[in-house]
């Protein structure tokens, strides 16, 4: 790390929209699903790098609730990669002390996948390093709906009165309960939209977009995002 980088302020929580796997493969005349295979390799490398930098929380957008609309062969390939990742993750990141949590609606997955998810979370729950949130079958609107339904159930049970509901009551019922909001959201692939990612939590997040497609995203690209983040003036609605 050079002197310039050592003086940079590091975000506590970084979110990444991992976009461009399919386009990366198409540019090379390959089936779209091949891009997801290479994207999974980038996922491992960049996660370790970000952890080594000292980021406390990393949330990766892996598969959205809308991604089920993609061609069946592509969805099938993604699920196969995810299943293999879960199998590997039982020991992966162990030496890095990375704690894994999966956010999203797990009910859409088969019982074996859910069992692997739960086992992975259980094995890593006492690790002391970076918290890695993997958003699978995740959608920001669905997450807000999930929180509202839980809040309504508590109102019905008399646990809380409607007039007493605060922002913290909603936050505590999100998938990301007790996790600080993202300071920085990075999107690869050149698009400039959130695509239903952390809608509630990103109210004051800084947004950084890069033309680099996800399989090509590397440590240097991440460092550029951090340098840009340090140029921002975060006022949080103030002056």
Average pLDDT value for residue range 117-139 = 94
Give the pLDDT score at 15. 98
Active-site position among 2, 7, 19, 118: 19
Mean pLDDT of the chain: 92
Give the pLDDT score at 22. 93
Q: Is 67 a catalytic residue?
A: yes
Give the pLDDT score at 239. 58
Distance of CA 207 to the CA centre of its chain: 14
Q: Report pLDDT digits (tens) over 218-232.
A: 999 999 999 999 999
Give the pLDDT score at 170. 96
Give the pLDDT score at 126. 94
Give the pLDDT score at 96. 87
Give the pLDDT score at 233. 87
Q: How far apart are CA 220 and CA 226, in angstroms?
A: 10
Asked if pLDDT for residue 2 goes beyond 60, the answer is: no
Average pLDDT value for residue range 38-42 = 93
Q: Is 133 a catalytic residue?
A: no
Give the pLDDT score at 86. 79
Q: Which CATH class is domain 10-139+181-228?
A: alpha beta
Asked if pLDDT for residue 121 goes beyond 60, the answer is: yes
Q: Report pLDDT digits (tens) over 184-234.
A: 999 999 999 999 999 999 999 999 999 999 999 999 999 999 999 999 988
Q: How far apart are CA 83 and CA 87, in angstroms?
A: 6
pLDDT band at 150 (very low <50, low <70, confident <90, very high): very high
Asked if pLDDT for residue 41 goes beyond 70, the answer is: yes
Q: Report pLDDT digits (tens) over 58-116.
A: 999 998 999 899 888 888 888 888 888 777 766 778 888 999 999 999 999 989 889 98
Asked if pLDDT for residue 6 goes beyond 80, the answer is: no
Give the pLDDT score at 193. 96
Give the pLDDT score at 4. 56
pLDDT band at 169 (very low <50, low <70, confident <90, very high): very high
Active-site position among 2, 7, 67, 95: 67
């Amino acid at each position: 790390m050079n002197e310039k980088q050592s003086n940079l302020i590091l975000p506590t929580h970084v979110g990444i929209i991992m976009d461009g796997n399919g386009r990366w493969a198409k540019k090379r005349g390959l089936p779209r699903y091949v891009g997801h295979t290479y994207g999974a390799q980038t996922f491992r490398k960049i996660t370790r790098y970000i952890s080594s930098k000292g980021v406390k929380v990393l949330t990766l957008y892996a598969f959205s609730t809308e991604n089920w609309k993609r061609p069946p062969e592509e969805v099938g390939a993604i699920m196969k990669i995810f299943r293999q990742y879960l199998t590997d993750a039982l020991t992966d990141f162990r030496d890095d002390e990375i704690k894994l949590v999966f956010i999203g609606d797990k009910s859409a997955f088969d019982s074996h996948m859910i069992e692997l998810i739960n086992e992975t979370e259980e094995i890593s729950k006492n690790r002391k390093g970076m918290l890695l949130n993997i958003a699978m079958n995740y959608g920001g609107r669905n997450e807000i709906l999930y929180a509202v339904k839980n809040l309504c159930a508590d109102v019905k049970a008399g646990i809380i009165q409607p007039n007493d509901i605060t922002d913290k009551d909603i936050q505590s019922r999100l998938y990301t309960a007790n996790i600080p909001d993202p300071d920085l959201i990075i999107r690869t692939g050149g698009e400039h939209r959130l695509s239903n990612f952390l809608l509630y939590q990103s109210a004051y997040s800084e947004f950084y977009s890069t033309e680099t497609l996800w399989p090509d995203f590397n440590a240097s690209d991440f460092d550029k995002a951090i340098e840009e983040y340090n140029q921002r003036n975060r006022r949080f609605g103030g002056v």
